[in-house]
């Protein structure tokens, strides 16, 4: 499976690069990246990376750790999976501080709140620790590289496309019928999820003016599994005529689906879609509660995040347009930060974004082809 994913990544990596702007015009193959030793890449072997999720126990983050551990063995690095069962700012700051105190070489973190962890990440960098992000970004000045699942435009469009297909599957005409919808995700301070929601709203207003957002302030369940069910039930109780619920969060989606089942609803009654691992949602698809959903390969994302963190910790230096060759995964280009947020600056060295090559859509026909 790992060999298949690596081959797929190498074949598709260049296709994803077109999604971001801001790089230079030199061909990617001519930019091998600078290092601390006159252009020679410094080995990552022996480096220790603290791999920090928003919370532990969530399938998305646990699977990302599995991928990181698998590839770390090949690269000769140590990945220490560090987190809390609670997705809170104070708890995550404590984990960052613990990583710094333990003497790790690098940190790769999915932030709960970019502003909330800013001081802790700055302190880590001042201590000589390379800081990178994955899944959910920090402020660009508080990290070096971000391994992103995709641009807001790509992921916002994907959420709208999933919604449209789900509505069509139950006989709703998205172009002409009135569609009542709402967003349910973790919290407004999570940079990535919020950017997808903003972009999705923009697309809906432009292409589907007949859709009505019944809760413009959105529903939030703070990445708490139990709360995602109670919030999900509250959405359905407050809006019994709702047509669509978009859950751009891997905890909110299964929680919303469980809430629907608790109320005896199926995919023929309400369209629920969003982002989560296949394994977290398969049971609801089998039960007829969901038509489709999507995600990206979080195993690859976890591995890439830990590698680029170790790469910088080893003393390698990169700039926008440089290519990092990841053993077993392929080449990835460093993009400017403004591919994720318009107007955001990028430092001259060791700052930017690396994109995952592709995303996947799951349904009853293909979900058993995936095991994560």
Which stretches in the chain have pLDDT values below 70? Answer: 1-39
- Tokens describing residue 360: 């996947």
Distance of CA 45 to the CA centre of its chain: 27
Q: Residue 76: its pLDDT value, please?
A: 98
Q: Residue 30: its pLDDT value, please?
A: 34
Cα Dmax for the chain: 65
Fold for domain 152-295? Rossmann fold (3.40.50)
Find the distance separating the first CA and the last CA of the chain, reported in whole Å: 11
Distance of CA 43 to the CA centre of its chain: 27
Does 152-295 match 2-150+297-358 at the fold level? Answer: yes
Residue spans of the domains in the chain: they are 2-150+297-358, 152-295
Q: Is the dihedral of CA 192, 195, 199, 204 positive or negative?
A: positive
DSSP state of 368: G
Distance of CA 273 to the CA centre of its chain: 16
Question: Cβ(124)–Cβ(107) under 8 Å?
Answer: yes
SS3 at position 30? helix
Burial bucket for residue 112 (CB in 10 Å: 0-12, 13-18, 19+): buried
Q: Residue 357: its pLDDT value, please?
A: 81
Phi, psi for residue 131 in degrees, rounded to 5: -120, 120
pTM over 0.85: no
Query: For residues 358 and 48, what is the distance between their CA atoms, to the nearest angstrom?
Result: 28
pLDDT in tens, 3-24: 334 444 443 443 333 334 333 3
CA-nearest of 135, 73, 82, 89 to 110 is 135
Question: 121 vs 108, 133, 270, CA distance in Å?
Answer: 10, 11, 42
Q: Residue 310: its pLDDT value, please?
A: 98
The C-alpha angle with vertex 276 and arms to 213 and 22, in degrees rounded to 5, equals: 80
Query: For residues 293 and 344, what is the distance between their CA atoms, to the nearest angstrom?
Result: 30
Length of the chain in residues, anyone? 372
Question: Cβ(175)–Cβ(146) under 8 Å?
Answer: no
Q: Residue 35: its pLDDT value, please?
A: 52
Q: Residue 17: its pLDDT value, please?
A: 38
Q: DSSP H helical segments within 170-269, as ranges?
A: 191-207, 225-238, 252-262
Burial bucket for residue 18 (CB in 10 Å: 0-12, 13-18, 19+): exposed
Q: Residue 358: its pLDDT value, please?
A: 85
Question: Cβ(62)–Cβ(86) under 8 Å?
Answer: no
Fold for domain 2-150+297-358? Rossmann fold (3.40.50)
Q: Residue 38: its pLDDT value, please?
A: 45
């Amino acid at each position: 499976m790992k060999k298949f994913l690596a081959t797929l990544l190498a074949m598709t990596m260049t296709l994803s690069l077109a999604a971001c702007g801001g790089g230079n015009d030199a061909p990617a193959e001519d930019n091998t990246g600078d290092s601390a030793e006159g252009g020679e890449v410094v080995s990552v072997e022996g480096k220790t990376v603290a791999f920090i999720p928003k919370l532990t126990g969530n399938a998305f983050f646990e699977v990302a750790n599995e991928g990181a551990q698998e590839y770390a063995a090949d690269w000769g690095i140590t990945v220490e999976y560090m987190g809390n069962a609670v997705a809170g700012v104070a708890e995550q700051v404590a984990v960052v501080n613990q990583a710094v105190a333990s003497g790790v070489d690098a940190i790769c973190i999915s932030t709960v709140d970019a502003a909330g962890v800013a001081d802790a990440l700055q302190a880590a960098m001042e201590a000589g620790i390379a800081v990178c992000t994955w899944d959910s970004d920090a402020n660009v000045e508080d990290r070096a590289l971000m391994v992103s699942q995709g641009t807001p435009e790509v992921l916002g469009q994907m959420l709208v496309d999933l919604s449209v297909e789900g509505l069509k599957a139950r006989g709703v005409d998205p172009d002409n019928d009135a569609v009542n919808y709402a967003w349910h995700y973790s919290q407004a301070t999570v940079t990535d999820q919020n950017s997808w929601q903003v972009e999705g709203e923009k697309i809906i207003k432009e292409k589907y003016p007949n859709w009505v957002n019944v809760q413009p302030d959105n529903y939030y369940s703070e990445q708490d599994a139990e709360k995602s069910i109670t919030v999900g039930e509250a959405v359905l109780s407050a809006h019994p005529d709702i047509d669509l619920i978009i859950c751009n969060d891997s905890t909110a989606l299964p929680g919303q689906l469980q809430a629907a089942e608790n109320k005896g609803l199926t995919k023929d009654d309400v369209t629920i879609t969003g982002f989560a691992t296949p394994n977290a949602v398969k049971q609801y698809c089998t039960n007829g509660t969901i038509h489709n959903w999507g995600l990206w390969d979080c195993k690859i994302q976890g591995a890439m995040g830990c590698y680029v963190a170790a790469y910088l910790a080893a003393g390698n230096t990169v700039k926008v347009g440089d290519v990092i060759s990841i053993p077993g995964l392929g080449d990835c280009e460093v993009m400017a930060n403004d591919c994720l947020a318009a107007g955001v600056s990028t430092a001259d060295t060791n700052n930017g974004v690396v994109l995952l090559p592709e995303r996947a859509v799951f349904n009853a026909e293909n979900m058993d082809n995936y095991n994560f």
